[in-house]
Structure 1
């Protein structure tokens, strides 16, 4: 069944007893009681839909419903992919890279700074990209000298700079022990925003990289992760990110819905 998060946040009611792990969530036309024998698992990709010009009372009410939903999904004794709060490191990109390096991954040379001088020094000797340092989605862009005056803005907003890595992109979705991997060749910096010209090819990533992915899965507590790599000409893998809430629909269509089928099969199985 599909539970409409937007309807719940705007029109929903809830009840939750943390001591007994029982309760319910509902909106007009839909009600789910916990425990519920028909519900063996939940796929959760919670995103708070901001609304322009909403009054504070309405926003507070919507946020309260969101917090209750997260509380329930953290505690119900069934399989949840992924439980809210399982891995929050991606909200701090620099910490996230550190944890990936601790697992054994190769990470790109990176600077997080609000210093114009440090940024200028870092970008002076090789091609560099820059992006946001938080969990907010930003478009990865190449740095060039025309942007140098903007470095003064770093005082108000620290930015991540990374040495540009030339090579194909590899996207790997890991669901427990199952991998779905795809190579992406494109001419731009960020294939997600290329308007055509990208080539997608299914691949099988090396066993050594799979072992590192599973190590990160074990440390993070996540069941479903989207790993992003750059592949160098010498077949070295450089990791960019491990996404704890992967948007996978485009990859899934190219995989003949294999990811969704695996998720459905996994969520339909009794919790061990």
Structure 2
């Protein structure tokens, strides 16, 4: 059984899963996109649907011989610096086009797929899809219109803000953030996501296939990712919320994911986001949940 890990040996999660899959009897290799096109070789014939991937060590795999691919991280491609900027641009786009084609044409079982990865990047759509499923989400405004943001702020006692795309921690909105000149300057550069602050505690639910593992994250920080001392307490989700986890994963095209919730003092679960490539080692170590074992089982389905 041939399994690829999209990532490299510099990532602890990729290495951990590589070792676990190898111990389970799979033939595992890293698919490090930074090595394409200088070391990795990709070929594909659209008329016959025949394709192959030659790894940096010379190991050649036909697309149909790759059983599954674990999406840990994609690092783009590496084009050596060229004197001609236009040639550099053409080389980059040509390489990315073939790489993207491989990720959609290779019939392997992807955990997760290119489509799921692309959907995750559109976080406003992710929230909208969750709402359509009947899942509770925070009152949210994504905008670069200062008037609408100030009006939205008047209807909510406490607000948080974060990037639309992600990549930075959540912060509280203060009066200084809403100062018209400062706000207009910031919004001329990029839109922002503004949400009502949801009082309560953080819950993270890992969905692996049909399995759901959840824990309460006890932290005094607004964004628990900033808190190295955060405590993890395993919990059993209400049956309805567990079903929502599975519905979210399916609707978002995710074979596995980590879903972040906010649990209100009233007992209501509020959806925040679903990550297509979450870190899981710390969570697994602290809770004892068999996430690695379930991922190995998922990837080794023939």
TM-score bracket for the superposition, by shorter chain length: 0.7 to 0.9
Report the aligned-residue RMSD.
2.6
1:7 and 2:35 equivalent? yes
Residue 204 of structure 1: how far off its partner (Å): 1.9
String of CA shifts for 1:61-108, please: whole Å, max 9, x gaps: 455444433322323333111111136333222222111000110000
Contact 1:10 1:62 in 2 (8 A): no
Q: 1:47 aligns with which of 74, 87, 96?
A: 74
TM-score normalised by length of structure 2: 0.78
String of CA shifts for 1:12-32, please: whole Å, max 9, x gaps: 221112333332223431433
Distance 1:9 1:140, change over 3 A: farther
1:77 and 2:100 equivalent? no
String of CA shifts for 1:212-253, please: whole Å, max 9, x gaps: 222223333321122110011122100001223333333233
Contact 2:162 2:168 in 1 (8 A): yes
SS for the counterpart of 1:146 is coil
Partner of 2:189: 156
String of CA shifts for 1:157-215, please: whole Å, max 9, x gaps: 11110011122111111122011212111111111122x33111122211101212222
Consecutive unaligned residues in structure 1, runs of 5 or more:
none
SS for the counterpart of 1:261 is helix
Partner of 1:216: 248
Contact 1:8 1:27 in 2 (8 A): no
Partner of 2:226: 193
Partner of 1:232: 264
String of CA shifts for 1:121-173, please: whole Å, max 9, x gaps: 32244111001112x41211111112233211213311110011122111111
SS for the counterpart of 2:129 is helix
Count how many residue pairs are aligned between Structure 1 and Structure 2.
267
TM-score normalised by length of structure 1: 0.86
Consecutive unaligned residues in structure 2, runs of 5 or more:
1-27
Distance 1:119 1:100, change over 3 A: same
- Give the whole-Å Cα distance in 2 for the aligned partners of 1:252 and 1:63: 39
Partner of 1:269: 301
